[in-house]
């Protein structure tokens, strides 16, 4: 199908649009000297961090490259695999890097524009988010297109089925590269940002009693840097991975589903359509001065909805003409994904926004102290997992059924059903360009608020940036809903791809995937525990890193005379440096765990055990990730709700209790929770890449 050309075209348009927006941002003024210097400090810190992170990551990629190269030279893998792995990592990292570059340039400009009007501030912040969104999707499609065309040309002599298999197998590898990079970025950035945040709060807010973002706090620049390296660069790499993961895992099922080249191109073209719709959507985001938070939210929503509707319309002819009128069920699968994404986002919002009962009730528990806040928040998070599970379950059932899914493993109809499940993930993520824009603008607004505070801009400026920031929390929740929902569906498509890969390697392999078969069952148990282990490692890492910041901030308060009086400047750079070093050291064990675990389990329990492990990790990881994200979000907003005047407002005992909840929620929602999303996909990717090794060598 010749429509594939849309992919590189869409990718280039996305990147050009991003460049256009970036230019517009950079042409706007950055404000007074004070603002410039703060922004510069944040930019320098973020650059220093990323430079160090990429140095560490390069070593990991070099080692993996050598391993993959050895496997390729010994015939376990095709020769493109190690290179595809590198490009996946490179583009994932680049997405985060560019997103962060623009975010650190937009923060002071947003604060400055907010001096003029709310709308001006929104424009800058949202444009910055949009740059990130379109860079992610643009680079993703560029990478996919490049490998698709190159491999198609290279394997042109092979019969069609083999050609497609060779193409998609190699492309899955670059998914592994992207996932590895994403994990490093999310975990490292997540540790950095929360160590700085928690450390700054524990000493500054709680012990010294100075306000948030106060320039006297030595960790305040590190905190702002953290927003950029964690919430921006980390998220960029993360969603790059989700995006390409959903596309290539679906494409990889095309042969097994008997759909041929059309089956490969449909998800790729869907992505291109999504880019164009997202660009149209961004034109509709703007607001009037004096807009309420509700107006702001609907301004952002309008853009997302319009993009979604366009995709929903354009997908119909794509399936109808691309696959044929008898395959129209796939269209319904795409719609299912789109709707499921929105529904999960809505449930997230319901459970975490302070305009609804759950978070309001959580705020009330602060009246009886921190213990009840914690119990309430955990309970809320656990309860909030039920609806997403039901939504994902129903969408699996629908997208499988409408896609003609039936029979059992190995049947083309069965794989067709799973291809449908993959398409629903692609549908969910197709409008990523704009959903990511509404999500990534949050940290920019947050930083702008910090700069406004530190530069001593007027009350009304801070109010405007606060309005933008608070909205960012809601859109971030929605964005997390998309990320988690698509992760579950993509993980399933990846498990199916793994099975298909094993069938290619050994067509006679006899699967025994019954859940009561001991290797599968044990795989389920071990896979189920991995997200818990991962969450524990990452939370501990944040705790340790925060501890070192606490020690340093206390030291500065003690040793730098005149600091608390404001007559002396704190030493910001040391805090940034400590965070950087801690994050680098701490991100390694969890990341290595994610790569080693599937290989180790595969070598012990074999293919059936791996399938069990992937299933267990997907189920428990999905639930744990939703729980942690929602508990964290609700604690954050319950605190904000009290700061807005409820239950005694700022400084009251209730507020202190709520701050405890918020602090616990920080690593929940910004480090462990989102990393688990990546973990479950990386486990599958690693399994797929190492499938041939595991098929050859295993104990059980």
364-403 residues near a copy of itself, rule: CB under 8 A: 365, 368-372, 374-376, 378-383, 385-386, 389-390, 392-393, 396-397, 400
Instruction: Classify residue 5 by its DSSP letter.
Output: G
Q: How far is the CB of 283 from a copy of itself (least distance, A)?
A: 38
**Residues 533-562, mask of contacts with a copy of itself (x by CB under 8 A):** x-xxx-xx-xx--xx--x------------
Q: Which of residues 206-235 bind a copy of itself (CB under 8 A)?
A: 206
Nearest to 687 by CA among 591, 609, 610, 572: 610
Contact track, a copy of itself, 595-614, x by CB under 8 A: ----------------xx--
Nearer to a copy of itself, 381 or 570 (CB): 381
Q: Is 671 in the site for a copy of itself (CB under 8 A)?
A: no
DSSP 542-554: HHHHHHHHHHHHH
Q: Which of 189, 204, 479, 528 binds a copy of itself (CB under 8 A)?
A: 528
Q: Is 362 in the site for a copy of itself (CB under 8 A)?
A: no
Q: Which is nearer to a copy of itself, 144 or 520 (CB)?
A: 520
Local structure of 22: helix, strand or coil: helix
Q: Measured from the CB of residue 254, what is the shortest distance to a copy of itself in angstroms?
A: 17
Q: Could you tell me the smallest distance in angstroms from the CB atom of residue 626 to a copy of itself?
A: 9
Q: Decide: 657 and 646 in contact? Cβ < 8 Å.
A: no
Q: What is the footprint of a copy of itself within residues 463-492 (CB under 8 A)?
A: 492
Selected binder of a copy of itself within 161, 314, 412, 513 (CB under 8 A): 513
Is 619 among the residues that bind a copy of itself (CB under 8 A)?
yes
Report the C-alpha gap between 239 and 479 in whole angstroms.
Answer: 10
User: Which of 32, 93, 30 is CA-nearest to residue 61?
Assistant: 93
Which of the ranges 102-110, 343-351, 455-463, 509-517 carries the binding residues for a copy of itself, by CB under 8 A?
509-517
Distance CA 579, CA 190 (A): 11
Residue 96, number of CB atoms within 10 A of its CB: 33
Position of tokens 């975990």? 187
| Alpha carbons 128 and 608: distance in angstroms, whole number | 46
The answer to whether residue 634 forms part of the interface with a copy of itself (CB under 8 A) is no
Query: What is the rounded distance in angstroms from the CA atom of residue 147 to the CA atom of residue 540?
Result: 39
SS3 407: coil
Other Cβ atoms closer than 10 A to 313: 11
Does residue 198 bind a copy of itself (CB under 8 A)?
yes
**Rounded to whole angstroms, how far apart are CA atoms 700 and 692?**
16
Q: How many CB atoms lie within 10 A of CB 364?
A: 18
Torsion angle, alpha carbons of 581, 583, 584, 588, to 10: 150
The binding track of 58-97 with respect to a copy of itself, each residue x by CB under 8 A or -, is: ----------------------------------------
In the complex with a copy of itself, the residue whose CB is nearer, 190 or 405, is: 405
- Is residue 26 close enough to count as binding a copy of itself by CB under 8 A? no
For a copy of itself, the binding residues in 644-663 under the rule CB under 8 A are 659-660, 663
# residues near a copy of itself by CB under 8 A = 80
- Cα(537)–Cα(668) distance, integer angstroms: 12
Of the residues 18, 181, 623, 625, which one makes contact with a copy of itself according to CB under 8 A: 623
Name which of 210, 171, 98, 53 is nearest 576 in CA terms.
Answer: 53
Q: How far is the CB of 501 from a copy of itself (least distance, A)?
A: 13
- How many C-beta neighbours within 10 Å does residue 536 have? 12
Q: Least Å distance between CB 667 and a copy of itself?
A: 6
Q: Which of residues 300-359 bind a copy of itself (CB under 8 A)?
A: none
* Smallest distance, a copy of itself to C-beta of residue 475, A: 26
What lies within 8 Å, CB to CB, of 83 at 6+ separation is none
């Amino acid at each position: 199908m010749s429509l594939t050309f849309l992919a590189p075209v869409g990718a280039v348009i996305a990147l050009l649009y991003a460049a256009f927006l970036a230019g517009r941002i950079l042409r706007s003024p950055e404000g007074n000297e004070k603002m410039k210097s703060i922004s510069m400090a944040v930019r320098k810190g973020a650059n220093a961090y990323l430079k160090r992170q990429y140095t560490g990551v390069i070593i990991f990629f070099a080692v993996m490259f050598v391993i993959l190269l050895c496997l390729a030279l010994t015939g376990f893998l095709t020769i493109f695999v190690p290179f595809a792995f590198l490009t996946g990592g490179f583009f994932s990292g680049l997405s985060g890097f560019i997103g962060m570059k623009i975010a650190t340039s937009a923060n002071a400009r947003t604060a400055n524009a907010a001096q003029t009007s709310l709308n001006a501030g929104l424009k800058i912040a949202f444009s910055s988010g949009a740059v990130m969104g379109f860079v992610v999707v643009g680079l993703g499609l560029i990478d996919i297109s490049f490998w698709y065309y190159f491999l198609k040309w290279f394997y042109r002599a092979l019969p069609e089925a083999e050609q497609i298999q060779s193409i998609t197998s190699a492309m899955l590898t670059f998914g592994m590269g992207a996932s590895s990079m994403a994990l490093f970025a999310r975990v490292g950035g997540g540790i950095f940002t929360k160590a700085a945040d928690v450390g700054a709060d524990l000493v500054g807010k709680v012990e010294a009693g100075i306000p948030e973002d106060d320039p006297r706090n030595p960790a305040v620049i590190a905190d702002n840097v953290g927003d950029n390296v964690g919430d921006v660069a980390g998220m960029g790499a993360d969603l790059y991975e989700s995006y390409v993961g959903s596309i290539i895992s679906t494409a990889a099922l095309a042969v097994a589903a008997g759909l041929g080249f059309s089956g490969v191109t449909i998800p790729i073209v869907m992505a291109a359509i999504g880019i164009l719709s997202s660009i149209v959507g961004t034109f509709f985001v703007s607001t009037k001065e004096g807009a309420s938070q509700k107006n702001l939210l609907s301004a952002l929503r309008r853009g997302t909805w319009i993009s979604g509707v366009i995709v929903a319309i354009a997908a119909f002819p794509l399936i109808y003409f691309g696959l044929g009128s008898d395959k129209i069920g796939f269209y319904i699968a795409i719609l299912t994904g789109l709707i499921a994404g929105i529904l999960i986002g809505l449930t997230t919002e319901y459970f975490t926004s302070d305009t609804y009962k759950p978070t309001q009730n959580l705020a009330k528990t602060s009246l009886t102290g921190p213990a009840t806040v914690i119990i309430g928040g955990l309970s809320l998070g656990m309860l909030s997992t039920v609806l997403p599970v039901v939504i994902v379950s129903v969408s699996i059932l629908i997208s499988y059924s409408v896609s003609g899914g039936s029979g059992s493993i190995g049947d083309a109809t069965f794989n067709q059903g799973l291809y449908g499940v993959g398409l629903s993930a692609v549908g969910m993520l197709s409008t990523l360009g704009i959903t990511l824009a509404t999500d990534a603008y949050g940290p920019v607004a947050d930083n702008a608020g910090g700069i406004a505070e530190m530069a001593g801009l007027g009350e009304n400026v801070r109010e405007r940036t606060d309005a933008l920031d608070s909205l960012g929390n809601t859109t971030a929740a929605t964005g997390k809903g998309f990320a988690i929902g698509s992760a579950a569906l993509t993980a399933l498509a990846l498990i199916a791809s793994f099975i298909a890969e094993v069938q290619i390697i050994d067509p006679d392999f006899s699967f025994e995937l019954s859940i009561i078969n001991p290797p599968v069952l044990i795989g389920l148990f071990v896979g189920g525990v991995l997200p818990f282990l991962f969450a524990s490692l990452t939370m501990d890492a944040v705790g340790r890193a925060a501890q070192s910041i606490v020690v340093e901030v206390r030291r500065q308060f003690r040793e730098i005379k005149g600091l608390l009086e404001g007559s002396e400047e704190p030493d910001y750079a040391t805090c940034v440096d400590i965070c950087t070093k801690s994050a680098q050291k701490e991100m390694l064990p969890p990341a290595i765990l994610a790569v080693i675990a599937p290989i180790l389990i595969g070598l012990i329990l074999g293919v059936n055990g791996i399938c069990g492990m992937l299933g267990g990790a997907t189920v428990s990881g999905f639930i744990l990730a939703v729980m942690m994200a929602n508990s964290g979000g609700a604690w954050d907003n319950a605190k904000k709700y009290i700061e807005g005047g409820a239950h005694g407002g700022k400084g009251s005992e209730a507020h202190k209790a709520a701050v405890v909840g918020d602090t616990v929620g920080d690593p929940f929602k910004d480090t462990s929770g989102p990393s688990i999303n990546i973990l479950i996909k990386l486990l599958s990717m690693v399994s797929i890449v190492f499938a041939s090794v595991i098929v050859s060598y295993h104990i059980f």
